[in-house]
Structure 1
Amino acid sequence: MNVLHMARTFVAGVPIRLTNFLNKYGSNKIHAKCIIKKPRDLYFSDNNDIIWDQGNFEIIKTLINWADIIHIHNSPPFKQEKKEEWESIKGKSIILHFHSEPNSCFGFHENITVNHNIKLSAMLCIAQYQAVHLELPKTIVRNVVDIDDPLLQPIYIKHEKPLVTYSPTNTSDLEQIKKRGCGEWAYKSYTEIMKLFNFYGDQHKVIDYKVITGTAYEEHLRQRQDANIHIDEFNSGSYHLSSLEGLSQGKVVIAGIKPWMKEFLVEFLHCITLPWFVMNNDSFIEDFSRLLGQKDLLLEYQKQSRTWMEEFWSPELVLKDYTGVYNKL
């Protein structure tokens, strides 16, 4: 099966992660290429199948003809005024895969289906913030995490002081995020978490911590692997990819999971409990103190994180989410 991924940004490397995952566990070989808007450091060691959209439309047309499926992540890298580019994918089997904030996703969908009159074969949405708040018909899928990857396996180490990791995709404060026209989903609680690290790490010295940014993806996972605690964020009410990676690695993972997110996940996954240690934006200093008060139980909590992922995020379950859609097309 030939799959052409299209995106404007690198969307956390999902074209590479998804292709590798399907070829590792699936029965049908996936041959994939990916066209994105502009070059950047991919942070992945294997990026030979990434093609930059640099204005060579003949290459893009050749790939579109080659593809059995066009898998669009949020929006294709076409210029709005270039009708020929938009027309080129009409008649193909097209998946639109939502990763961003609901307002942005709704705009992507309207632009593709209304402004350019393109028929979609399927719409996918990751089982996170947007799955709850995006009011469009969609098939919910797990974010791709391979819990059997050696870098996502647990390494249980009892440090003298708990080691805490945090890996924000941006280091902007909330006001900066809002000025860019983004919402809570894009904010990674950077201001609050740095206050927490300053209080417990620098002033009281009861934890060690690592803030990991700008590293290659594999190195990023290695640096987090021997930690006891990983912090996602506690502003949006949901969770991100780093949560799932941390749970797979057997960390106590902190996120601000709100009741609406819990209700959705319990129903979608058919689980009874969730593995996150929940912290709130207005009481994070006190909430973290509560966790430190149970540090003798950290190892037990860490193992519970891994067990939960093995039950509800196994390769078999993730594979079923995506092959069910691909095979129909």
Structure 2
Amino acid sequence: MNIVHFSKNSLAGAPHRLASTLQKHTVHDVRLIDLKRYDPRAEHGWFEYDIIFSEQQEEAIEVARKADIIHLHNYLDLDSRDFAPIDFRDLRRKGVLFVRQYHSTPQIVAKHMGKRPEEIVAFDEAPTLVISQYPERFYPKARVVPNILPHNQLEYSPLVPERDGEPTLDIAFAPSKLTSAWEDRWNTKGAPETMAVMDRVMELTGCSARTVNGMPLSEVLHIKRHARIILDDLVNGSFHLSGLEGVCLGKPVLCYLDARTDFVLREISGAAESPFLNVRLEDAVEVLHYLVEHPAETVALGKAARTWVETYWRDDLLAVQYTHVYNRLAQNPDLITRQRAFSLDSPGAGFKAAVLPELLYQSRRKRYFSS
């Protein structure tokens, strides 16, 4: 089948990495049409691209015309006209099948689209998917799917000292935004507070640490690849693509996973345990101090993380989950449903998945500002 992905936002490069993986590991012809280059300050943009609508409109129109399935990402629905003259509703009338995938909370999607969060959650004009990170708890009808990385590409592979040299940096942290941990729930990695942790560890140990922000993904990956330890989100309770990049690179990755995220990760991967070092912001100084002073153990933890990826998070293995979605979509869209294991229908499940983590976050916030 001809499967065409559409995105109007980089989404940290997730749509491109997904589409390119599916092109490589499935029998389908998979393309991605991005609306534009997402950072004009970078000569070629921050992320990789396939078709850029603003620059290759005729090709985009032709690819969309031949689509059997259109896969919409996050801020797009059937009424979106960002890619005009491509008309999603007209294509559906002509028999094209649609699926929509969420990468953000309903509040963020609604803000971008000028809608109410309730409208985003209630969307039922096509089957919906949601990434197996923090957003999944907010979309009770959506099928949960993994974020995929091309783990065997060189830039995602661990350093080989004989070829690449030894790491040149102790700690790397790559937040996409520099907002406070307590400023914008789920839309932050707590950069100021995490950077303060890094400063404290540097004072205690003399180690090197770097915050990486505002540069192309290829440069970010290069810096992280040459680091010993990676920091992801220590605040909210979920890993991000940044953390997955770290475990692919064979690094110990500090990241706070709440009970729901930890459960979903293990369930979607089939693993008995998480590859992350589950550490909160409040406890990170002590853990980082220990890791910096125990380099052999740090290396061993990184190797274990990479082994986890090669066992449970291989791109070819995860691509099968999307193949199943497309096959069911072609057979009967009603077959694309929420996995029973992730059901939020019972009051207890909904409380544990969404309400309890929020209460704990607010409690931590109060303690932080009262200390």
Q: Structure 2 CA distance, aligned partners of 1:146 and 1:196?
A: 31
Query: Deviation at 1:48?
Result: 4.9
Which position in structure 1 is the counterpart of 2:246? 246
Matches within 5 A, 1:121-160: 122-131=127-136, 133-155=137-159
Which position in structure 1 is the counterpart of 2:187? 186
Which position in structure 1 is the counterpart of 2:337? none
Which position in structure 2 is the counterpart of 1:172? 179
Q: Structure 2 CA distance, aligned partners of 1:221 and 1:161?
A: 14
One-letter amino acid of the structure 2 residue matched with residue 313 of structure 1: W
Matches within 5 A, 1:20-59: 20-30=20-30, 32-36=31-35, 39-41=38-40, 42-45=45-48, 47-52=49-54
Q: For residues 210 and 273 of structure 1, do their structure 2 counterparts lie closer, same or farther at Cα, with a shift above 3 Å needed? A: same
| Contact 1:38/1:53 (8 A) holds in 2 | no
Q: Structure 1 CA distance, aligned partners of 2:302 and 2:208?
A: 17
Q: TM-score, normalised by structure 2?
A: 0.73
Runs of 4+ in 1 over 6 A off after TM superposition: 58-61, 158-162
| Contact 1:43/1:217 (8 A) holds in 2 | yes
| Contact 2:21/2:316 (8 A) holds in 1 | no
Which position in structure 1 is the counterpart of 2:197? 196
Query: Deviation at 1:108?
Result: 6.8
One-letter amino acid of the structure 1 residue matched with residue 217 of structure 2: Y
Give the SS at the match of 1:164.
Answer: strand
Query: Deviation at 1:86?
Result: 6.1
Q: Structure 1 CA distance, aligned partners of 2:68 and 2:118?
A: 21
Which position in structure 2 is the counterpart of 1:220? 220
Q: Structure 1 CA distance, aligned partners of 2:103 and 2:312?
A: 21
Matches within 5 A, 1:83-98: 85=87, 87-91=89-93, 92-98=96-102
| Contact 2:106/2:120 (8 A) holds in 1 | no
One-letter amino acid of the structure 1 residue matched with residue 322 of structure 2: Y
Query: Deviation at 1:317?
Result: 1.7
Q: Structure 2 CA distance, aligned partners of 1:310 and 1:271?
A: 12
Which position in structure 2 is the counterpart of 1:273? 273
What do the CA deviations read for 1:91-120 (whole angstroms, capped 9, x no partner)?
331111010024445857825976xxx720
Query: Deviation at 1:174?
Result: 4.2
Q: For residues 19 and 8 of structure 1, do their structure 2 counterparts lie closer, same or farther at Cα, with a shift above 3 Å needed? A: closer
Q: TM-score, normalised by structure 1?
A: 0.82
One-letter amino acid of the structure 2 residue matched with residue 125 of structure 1: V
Query: Deviation at 1:237?
Result: 0.3
| Contact 1:161/1:206 (8 A) holds in 2 | no
Q: Structure 1 CA distance, aligned partners of 2:239 and 2:153?
A: 21
Which position in structure 1 is the counterpart of 2:333? none
Long gaps (5+) in structure 2: 111-115, 331-371
Query: Deviation at 1:228?
Result: 1.1
Query: Deviation at 1:318?
Result: 1.2
Query: Deviation at 1:60?
Result: 7.3
| Contact 1:269/1:312 (8 A) holds in 2 | yes
Identity of aligned residues (%): 23
Query: Deviation at 1:63?
Result: 5.3
Give the SS at the match of 1:186.
Answer: coil
| Contact 1:39/1:52 (8 A) holds in 2 | no
Matches within 5 A, 1:44-123: 44-45=47-48, 47-52=49-54, 64-76=64-76, 78=80, 85=87, 87-91=89-93, 92-104=96-108, 107=116, 110=119, 119-120=125-126, 122-123=127-128
One-letter amino acid of the structure 2 residue matched with residue 36 of structure 1: L
Q: Structure 2 CA distance, aligned partners of 1:159 and 1:40?
A: 32
| Contact 1:33/1:51 (8 A) holds in 2 | no
Q: Structure 2 CA distance, aligned partners of 1:11 and 1:250?
A: 23
| Contact 1:238/1:255 (8 A) holds in 2 | yes
Which position in structure 1 is the counterpart of 2:345? none
Give the SS at the match of 1:88.
Answer: helix
